[in-house]
A and B are shown apart, each in its own frame.
Chain A
């Protein structure tokens, strides 16, 4: 990936970004203590600046759109939950801001989470438990256009790629509507409840489910949900 030239260069007095010595970071993580820890680490380094912090996805989106001209590195904590969880946020950021540098940060290096983050648009993954020096090097690497993977052993790459592949399969085979039905079904709702949620008839939901089973080559709803969970399309506790 190629980063464009600094948009503010060549425009005298246009922005303070030209005066900033280092790279700007936007920090999005639900835990204040994690944000404080990362901010402290970044503040110790003159070549990095925390531009903004947010504890939820909406705040994160606002911060990124405010500082997008600074070509920031956005760190997204993967334990961000809710309607707009970490993965949806990453997808949204990638879609809205194109070439932004996005680094996913997680408390554990679990291959499915990493493959989900990379599939939706992260430039890399950093385990929050790594040494500070490694963390900072990863930020620089990601900003320079590298894919970064810090924490998991390189042997995990095979499994991460398999997860991405399964996700690609599911995404390419199912229509957007079918994915939506499957995602809601994974919450354990009945066809009638799914229909109510999506504003369609129960009969339509059953038809969608039938097509989904066919496309995924499964015979039951549980098997379909399991396939979706294995692909990282939905996250379901205890099914792995």
Chain B
């Protein structure tokens, strides 16, 4: 008989844990050593039981449900740090291309939606437990689209680093936050005339003629975020 893989399940919903436990144990190759509903208990269970496989909902109650991408994986990554080397399956309530992309970047072994059904979930646990990978083909196109966005953002950042000076970028961000030339000047400790000079060069480099066009272009390039004007200013 094959060796039993010892599985930890972290999921806020008792009913999900129960169903996954029953289905896993029915395979005869998986045994559930810990079944917990929040991250602190999961970390404690890792130390006590040293599981071989982690099955984790990425959004346990302690997590911030609003975050996406890599930040959304914070709980998963904490757990992996507590039990290094254990294959992990992310079991998501809200599945998305960015989530799968973040899993692939973090070298996580699998990511599957709860809605895939218990049979697919158990197959995925078995796959990662035996050294394989488990990613739903349904999200492939979204993941590739995410890769495309990632590549374009990297290219833009390179272009901006090469083309715009730090000062120009700072002026652009201050103005995009609703600041005036005068405010930008005092924030940067330079004269308004100098700020105007930066603005002129910014327009030329961005290939625009008005401030509205400049903001639209800069937002399209990902240099500023018009949706959240008060976020991360001065972050670079």
Contact = CB atoms under 8 A, between A and B. Distances in A.
Our verdict on whether A and B bind, yes or no, reads yes
Interface of A: 115, 118-121, 123-124, 146-149, 154-155, 157-158, 160-162, 164-165, 167-168, 171-172, 176
Contacts of A119: 151, 154-155
A157 B101 contact: yes
A168 B147 CA distance: 14
A118 B147 contact: yes
Chain A interface helix/strand/loop/mixed: helix
A147 B144 contact: yes
Interface string B154-176: 11011001100000000000000
Given A147-B147, A171-B162, 10 more contacts: A120-B155, A124-B144, A146-B141, A155-B133, A157-B147, A158-B106, A168-B158, A171-B161, A172-B157, A176-B162
Query: Which of B140, B148, B157 has the largest count of A CB atoms less than 10 A from its CB?
Result: B148
B141 A164 contact: no
B107 interface: yes
Chain B interface helix/strand/loop/mixed: helix
B133 A171 contact: no
A212 to B, nearest CB: 16
A149 B144 contact: yes
Interface residues of B, number: 24
Given A155-B133, A157-B101, A161-B105, A123 B148 contact: yes
B158 A161 contact: no
Given A164-B150, A171-B158, A158 B144 contact: no
Nearest to B152: A1
Contacts of B155: 119-121
A158 B154 contact: no
A157 B155 CA distance: 17
B158 A158 contact: no
B224 interface: no
A157 B157 CA distance: 20
Given A146-B141, A162-B105, A118 B161 contact: no
5 contacts: A119-B154, A147-B144, A154-B140, A155-B104, A157-B104
Given A161-B104, A167-B154, A168-B154, A154 B161 contact: no
A172 B105 contact: no
Contacts of B143: 154, 157
Query: Which of A154, A167, A168 has the largest count of B CB atoms less than 10 A from its CB?
Result: A154
B104 A154 contact: yes
B148 A158 contact: no
Contact of A154 (B135, B154, B158, B162): B135
B222 to A, nearest CB: 12
Contact of B147 (A120, A161, A172, A176): A161
B129 to A, nearest CB: 17
A161 B102 CA distance: 10
A176 B133 CA distance: 40
B92 to A, nearest CB: 16
Shortest Cβ-Cβ A-B pairs, 4 listed: A147-B148, A158-B104, A118-B151, A168-B154
Nearest to A155: B133
Interface in B106-161: 106-107, 133, 135, 137, 140-141, 143-145, 147-151, 154-155, 157-158, 161
A161 B148 contact: no
Contacts of A158: 104-107
B227 to A, nearest CB: 19
B70 to A, nearest CB: 11
Nearest to A115: B151
A160 B147 contact: yes
A162 B158 CA distance: 16
Contacts of A160: 147
B236 to A, nearest CB: 10
Query: Which of B106, B137, B161 has the largest count of A CB atoms less than 10 A from its CB?
Result: B161
A185 B101 CA distance: 35
Contacts of B145: 146-147
